[in-house]
Structure 1
């Protein structure tokens, strides 16, 4: 299948493109405008620019599209809601409109987010039928993009599916996200470049973590086998507190550090617990093949994997 991947230069996008090529698919990478010139074979454009989107899609001639491009930071979305909606919602509408007019049989996977559920009662899992409660411009913009996809499916028959991924981890994630932020601090402490203090946000929040390679495997499966008009959670269903993840990173790295709350790292609207129900995705044959521990080891890198029995690292 000839697949157009928007946001191919992002964290999940890079892993997805590698998987698609390994699976025998022809991949057309679409990168953001800031990546122009970095890959001569990629299409570079702003997803919020309608004319640029049309030009790129017409050039790509895709049989399938996985739409990852977007404003990805929940925390930073509070500071620029207009840009968030321009990219995540209007950008999605630009893409759907062009596909409807140029290749209406192209299968489309819109990648949304588990953040659309808002707070989920601790000890329960969010199913796809749960009412949506956005607590950030990011989540609201993703819901609006989902609704656009549903409307294009219902009104025009465009074969659109929606994926709602929960937290995913692995090599190459931006250090503004919580786990790579911890890893960056641990590296600085281990190298003696920072005092042995780890600055964190809310460690009591409970989240659903998966390895990024399992997440992108789900995307490919949904593009080929998902049912148009349907929405699928991409998650493990296993609750983990941020504190437990950090403690595992400390154990893996062997670094000793004092944990200190940094108010600047707290979100304006915090979600205490967010865990998904993966049953619908599993019914298509998906199952995780990697562990969160493996993902944490990849995030930390080989220089911060403690040898069993070795004494703790001190700066």
Structure 2
């Protein structure tokens, strides 16, 4: 399949590109815009990928028209829940309006392409309580990020119902592995713990709320689910990507410390708390498993990958 991947330079995008190519797909990759950087010859960036600003409808249309993809996996977007509280308008514009620009380009220039929109398990908010959320669970987003992702889902559903664009949505829950940006919670913990292990002066483990329960998966399992959904998912449907098991953020801190042979007392920093917190967010992956998906990697493997990456760049 000829697959266009937006946001291909991001954490998940890099893993996804490798997985698609290993499976024999032809992969067309575009990266996010780099504000302030001079345009490179031919429009390609430093990583050899063309830059695409999803807020530029004409540019999105040009990429879709030129690429003539058979499938599209839309990863490009605002990915930080915390930062969405700082600039909700930008989060909504990139995630919702950017998705509309892509869908409109597909409708006009690649009407037979299948489109997988990557949303988030965050759309459930606290609606599921302590039980796993299925695709039938009420959506109750509590962050601008989650609202923007839900809006993108609704746009996809409308393009499917109104115009027959083959759109389906994935709702991944938390996923871990090498390559995630340092401001995300697990890489942040790993960097602080490695600094403590090296004996750096004044190093300490600063944390926010460690009590929320989350559903963690290895990023490799997540990208395998994306490829499966693009090929075998039902258009117009939504699919959770989750392990079905919950664990606290504190347990992640404890396991990272154990992997490094450290016993560290975290320092709680109120500024690291979210304005609105989801106490428990666990997903039911039954619908995805019915397509033949099953996780092949553990959270421990993902944590080891993160620690190895941090150690390599220290």
Per the TM superposition, whether the score is higher than 0.5 is yes
Give the aligned partner of residue 38 of structure 1.
46
Quick check: 1:196–1:256 contact (8 Å CA) kept in 2?
no
Give the aligned partner of residue 6 of structure 1.
6
Tell me, in whole angstroms, the C-alpha distance in 1 between the residues paired with 2:181 and 2:105. Answer: 30
Quick check: 1:210–1:292 contact (8 Å CA) kept in 2?
yes
Give the aligned partner of residue 216 of structure 2.
209
User: What CA deviation, in whole Å up to 9, does each residue of 1:160-217 have, x standing for no partner?
Assistant: 0100000000001011111111001011112222435211011000000000000000
Tell me, in whole angstroms, the C-alpha distance in 1 between the residues paired with 2:131 and 2:305. Answer: 29
Give the aligned partner of residue 285 of structure 2.
278
Quick check: 1:196–1:258 contact (8 Å CA) kept in 2?
no
Pick from 96, 101, 105 the counterpart of residue 98 of structure 1.
Answer: 105
SS of 2:240's partner is strand
Residue 21 (1) aligns with residue 21 (2): yes
Give the aligned partner of residue 273 of structure 2.
266
SS of 1:229's partner is coil
Tell me, in whole angstroms, the C-alpha distance in 2 between the residues paired with 1:252 and 1:50. Answer: 46
Give the aligned partner of residue 85 of structure 1.
92
Tell me, in whole angstroms, the C-alpha distance in 2 between the residues paired with 1:221 and 1:294. Answer: 22
Tell me, in whole angstroms, the C-alpha distance in 2 between the residues paired with 1:274 and 1:100. Answer: 34
After TM superposition, give the deviation of residue 43 of structure 1 in Å: 2.1
Give the aligned partner of residue 195 of structure 1.
202
Name stretches of at least 5 consecutive residues in structure 1 with no aligned partner: 306-315
After TM superposition, give the deviation of residue 121 of structure 1 in Å: 4.5
Tell me, in whole angstroms, the C-alpha distance in 1 between the residues paired with 2:102 and 2:258. Answer: 45
Quick check: 1:75–1:267 contact (8 Å CA) kept in 2?
yes
Pick from 280, 295, 299 the counterpart of residue 306 of structure 2.
Answer: 299
Tell me, in whole angstroms, the C-alpha distance in 1 between the residues paired with 2:310 and 2:186. Answer: 17
SS of 1:161's partner is strand
Tell me, in whole angstroms, the C-alpha distance in 2 between the residues paired with 1:92 and 1:215. Answer: 21
Q: Which runs of 4+ in 1 moved over 3 A?
A: 120-123, 302-305
After TM superposition, give the deviation of residue 295 of structure 1 in Å: 0.3
After TM superposition, give the deviation of residue 81 of structure 1 in Å: 1.2
SS of 1:301's partner is helix
Residue 241 (1) aligns with residue 278 (2): no
Tell me, in whole angstroms, the C-alpha distance in 2 between the residues paired with 1:115 and 1:292. Answer: 19
Residue 149 (1) aligns with residue 156 (2): yes
**Cα–Cα, structure 1 residues 63 and 294, in superposed 2: closer, same or farther, change >3 Å?**
same
SS of 2:98's partner is helix
**Cα–Cα, structure 1 residues 194 and 92, in superposed 2: closer, same or farther, change >3 Å?**
farther
Over the aligned positions, Cα root-mean-square deviation in angstroms equals 1.5
Pick from 82, 86, 96 the counterpart of residue 75 of structure 1.
Answer: 82
SS of 1:197's partner is coil
User: What CA deviation, in whole Å up to 9, does each residue of 1:58-80 have, x standing for no partner?
Assistant: 12111100000000000110111
Residue 174 (1) aligns with residue 181 (2): yes
Quick check: 2:171–2:238 contact (8 Å CA) kept in 1?
yes
After TM superposition, give the deviation of residue 39 of structure 1 in Å: 2.5
Name stretches of at least 5 consecutive residues in structure 2 with no aligned partner: 38-43
TM-score normalized with structure 2 length: 0.94
